[in-house]
Amino acid sequence: MAAFPSNPIPETVMSLSMYTATVPPLRAMLKNLSAVMAKAEAHCESRKIDPNAFLASRLYPDMLPFTAQVQIASDNVKGAAGRLAGVEIPKFEDNEKTFAELQARIDKTIAFLDTLTEAQFDGAAERDIVLQLRDRKLEFKGADYLLKWANPNIYFHITTAYALLRHGGVEIGKKDYLSGGAAK
């Protein structure tokens, strides 16, 4: 039997900019959410379902409805990107009541992402990020903020929005969640 080498394999370090770890994947997930919502709207039209059945849907009575899931996903995306880039975070009113209005919110969030440059993310991994929540204050370095707070929150709300639509019978699947249905 051949023995494994006694010296460990050297660690490979991959360089990934904070911009690359933030803007492109978050833009992609918002585009996927937009595509899933378009399928939900088409589902309502083809089956003569009131869109409010989806827009107000919840997985459980104490959870926030679909519209809030989309709004919070948008808020977390623009918040994460803005904090890491060191720029002012745009404020959106949470007044969307239709699929079209939610689509417009996603479009505005993507438009904000598209204004950001790689240079604005220089030093973002070590940037101090302070979040004042209702009941506590959280402090992070940029990389920990993105990986341990922002990304989990963003994916939670996008996944919850997806789950509400799927539970309601919209014909969407994993490829829609991951690629807006573009993957064949």
pLDDT one-digit tens code per residue, 57-102 = 999 999 999 999 999 999 999 999 999 999 999 999 999 999 999 9
Q: Do 140 and 149 meet the contact criterion of CB atoms below 8 Å apart?
A: yes
> What residues make up the domain containing 68?
18-179
Would residue 12 count as lying in a domain? no
User: Which residues of the chain carry a pLDDT beneath 70?
Assistant: 1-14, 181-184
The whole-number pLDDT of residue 182 equals: 64
Which residue in 6, 1, 23, 180 sits closest to 113, CA to CA?
Answer: 23
pTM here is 0.90
Tell me whether residue 110 is in a domain: yes
pLDDT of residue 16: 87
Domain for residue 4, yes or no? no
Residue 152 maps to a domain: yes
User: What is the distance between the alpha carbons of residues 174 and 177, in angstroms, rounded to a whole number?
Assistant: 5
Residue 108 sits in a domain whose CATH number is 1.20.120.450
116 inside domain: yes
Count CB-CB contacts under 10 A for residue 87. 14
Q: Is residue 168 part of a domain?
A: yes
Domain-embedded: residue 136 = yes
| Domain membership flag for residue 59 | yes
Looking at the structure of the chain, the number of domains it has is 1
